[in-house]
Chains A and B, each alone.
Chain A
Amino acid sequence: MSRAVTRIAAMLVVSTLAGLGLGVVYVLGGQPQWEGALLAVSLGGIGLALVLWAKALFGEAEEVGERTVLPSEPEPRAEFVTTLERGGEVFARRHVLVRLLAAAGGALGLAALFPLRSLGPPARRQLFHTAWRPGSRLVTEAGEPIRVDQLPVGGILTVFPEGRVDADDSATLLIRVEPGALRPRPGREEWSPDGNVAYSKLCTHVGCPVGLYRETTHELLCPCHQSTFDVLDGARPVFGPATRSLPQLPLAVDRDGYLVAVDDFPDPVGPGFWNMGR
């Protein structure tokens, strides 16, 4: 027996054993690593054996074949074109009917567009609003309200409007800073009682949750594309692809000392869209 035959035979024997082993592993309850490894050996043995067989034992020389000419001869080509056109003329003779057929087809096509509309509700004002309402209490994801002095300075918490913890677009970051450190925008001086300032958690770039807070520099960092926002300066973007500040939620304190929203965010939250400024 030549060496190649011995090797091919060995591969096939190993493959057979691996195949049987696979069955045993499965019956014994399965184990991912063994399953993958045995399957690989069982398949690989057959594959390598076939390739080696073809290379070592077929003994076939290179062969030469003709390449067919791809384009048709002029005659059959012309015949095809005339046949096609002659058939078309049978239709075209009836001008009125052709136009009516076009009209019917067009109407059908138009009608077929309408079900597309059912794929999603029209995007009207949903993108401009979140679940925050005037007076909504800020709550944790467990639904617990937050007192104005609860968060330590430097602390950060993800909050939701009370009763709407499920509202994806309403996720908000509550951050406590030294009250004097903030540089509020004109008209927003009252929005951050006792240094509690709240910004939308959705990055204005593509809407990832802005999860990382560098307390030393007061910067919020989006882990997806590294947009960075300055918490003290109205969450203005200071680096990365984001172009707009994180919308700020106006805060107040209710009679029981809990933080509440004065109103919804003044701007659309999350990623931009063409008419967001209208």
Chain B
Amino acid sequence: MLRGLLRWVDDRLGGARFGTSVLRRIFPDHWSFMLGEVALYCLVVLIATGVYLTFFFEPSVREVVYDGPYEPLDGVTMSAAYRSALEISFEVRAGLVMRQMHHWAALLFMASIVVHLARVFFTGAFRRPRELNWVIGVTLLVLAMFNGFLGYSLLDDLLSGTGLRVANAILLSIPVLGPDLAFGFFGGEFPADAMIPRFYVLHVLVLPALIVALLSAHLAMVWRQKHTQFRGPGRTEDNVVGSRLWPSYAAKSVGLFFIVTAVIAALGGLAQINPVWIYGPFRSELAAAAVTSASQPDWYMGWLDGALRLMPGWEIRVRGFVVPNPFFPGVLLPGVVFTLLYLWPFLEARVTRDHEAHHLLDRPRDAPVRTALGTAAFSFFAVLFVAGSNDVLAGSFEVAPETLTRVFRVAVVGVPVVAFLVTRKLCRDLQGPPERPPARPARHRVVRRPDGGFEVLDEEPRDEGVVVPP
């Protein structure tokens, strides 16, 4: 049956030789090489659950009055978008699980991309010949971030509305083009009616198409260049050591897909995420007087929110022209961060004058400065991320938010410096002494002479192997 089918296809398309090479392909085994796969599988779950949600979601700001089963909002005016989110949560069977799986999958997607990026960075996997794939990977990170933000903004709840306000202010802050960019993006002065349907198309069509296209290129390049591997016995720059695609790697990889999906399903069913019915609708008489408290974005936007909070009250004013405060943390900072990220492989090659191809990975300690810079960068983002919830922290620790903000302003500069110095020292210590250990004392061979005496031959200082007495 299978053979017949294969013959039928091969008669028409050929490619048996290629098929064999695919099945026999070797993939290096290491747990950290699966992080990118986790991201891929999160994307699969995102697309599957996302398609399901589109069947029920209504991307419209048309005003409606709620009369569904969620009683606290009974009779409240809201947008059709928000109402359909409530319907998915309370009326569509399995709708809430799908919605929550979608959101959790997005959070895990971003997390696995970031951890995958860290793995690639700290092991030097971005070096020649993989610079181009690094660039594609960073682009995927940016696109995923935007699409996540658009996704949770679609529901038109009070929290996401606040997020969009911030986005509006950041666009507005761009010199000269700002107001036109903001009006063009939102379809008029914020909050314009066009924004929900517009974001919907971007979220379900434009950005996913770009992500899938770039991801295909990303994987094709991995296929073409073959995966990197760690140093070890029998591993060289010219070979690939690992397990075959069929059946070992395929079984493990498909198994991983099921496990990732299972984790997302467990989270989606058991861990509440983004309960928009508690936040209330954005467009409503309720929202007008609502006191928005502790508003936090999804985790991957947290560093930007923290940066907005830590920025001191400075801006540039010249003759009535302004470079407003949010420009610096909201446009300049991410601009610099992503430019450095994109250029990293090229910068490092230039500084280290290492333009060779590398298929064997560094251990992080092998490149102390790179590892220290990476750690410093991650600690910088960590401080910003924590600062993004300074009001919650202030409440929990009963400190004035002002005090915390001042502490974080110092920490955001100090912690990365300390992280850099400590990491570099640790790496150098782990490497051991820079030179080879002193040569072992010369060995002497003791030979018995025929006359019964002994003779010491001290001609051969040996530096390897065990001396076996004759």
Contact = CB atoms under 8 A, between A and B. Distances in A.
A47 B262 contact: yes
A253 interface: no
A237 interface: yes
Interface string A11-55: 000000000000000100110111111011111101111110111
Contact of A226 (B182, B184, B268, B390): B390
Contacts of A80: none
Given A33-B269, A211-B293, A64 B187 contact: no
Given A120-B188, A123-B180, A36 B251 contact: no
B256 A51 contact: yes
Contact of B326 (A50, A51, A67, A271): A271
A63 interface: yes
A82 interface: no
A160 interface: yes
Interface stretch (A103-111, A181-189, A202-210): A202-210
Interface in B214-257: 224-226, 234, 237-244, 247-248, 251-252, 254-257
Interface stretch (B137-145, B163-171, B376-384): B163-171
Given A158-B289, A226-B405, A271-B173, A47 B256 contact: yes
Interface size class of A (residues with CB under 8 A): 35 or more
Interface string B284-315: 01001111111100000000010011111111
B197 interface: no
A257 interface: no
A146 interface: no
Contacts of A30: 93-94
Given A36-B266, A40-B269, A64-B234, A29 B93 contact: yes
A242 interface: yes
Contacts of B305: 225
Contacts of B364: none
A270 interface: yes
Contacts of B309: 225-226, 240-241
A116 interface: yes
A29 to B, nearest CB: 7
B373 to A, nearest CB: 28
A70 B131 CA distance: 14
A127 interface: yes
A131 to B, nearest CB: 11
Given A241-B312, A273-B173, A274-B176, A40 B322 contact: no
B97 interface: yes
A206 B169 CA distance: 5
Contacts of A212: 291, 293
A65 interface: yes
B332 interface: no
Contact of A273 (B172, B294, B310, B314): B172
Given A120-B184, A275-B320, A43 B248 contact: no
Contact of B169 (A39, A50, A207): A207
B248 A223 contact: no
Interface residues of B, number: 105
Given A58-B247, A206-B169, A277-B317, A43 B178 contact: no
A64 B93 contact: no
B165 A206 contact: yes
B225 A243 contact: no
Given A33-B269, A65-B26, A51 B285 contact: no
Contact of B162 (A40, A122, A224, A240): A224
B405 A240 contact: yes
B269 A223 contact: no
Contacts of A119: 183-185, 187
14 contacts: A40-B263, A43-B262, A54-B248, A62-B241, A64-B26, A120-B184, A120-B186, A205-B169, A211-B293, A212-B291, A226-B405, A241-B312, A276-B320, A277-B322
Given A36-B97, A36-B100, 19 more contacts: A32-B100, A34-B269, A35-B97, A37-B266, A40-B266, A40-B269, A51-B256, A63-B26, A63-B244, A70-B357, A165-B285, A168-B191, A171-B288, A207-B169, A207-B190, A211-B292, A223-B294, A271-B172, A277-B319
Interface of B: 24-26, 29, 93-94, 96-97, 100-101, 129, 162, 165-166, 168-170, 172-176, 178-180, 182-192, 194, 224-226, 234, 237-244, 247-248, 251-252, 254-263, 265-270, 285, 288-295, 305, 308-315, 317, 319-326, 329-330, 357, 359, 390-391, 401-402, 405
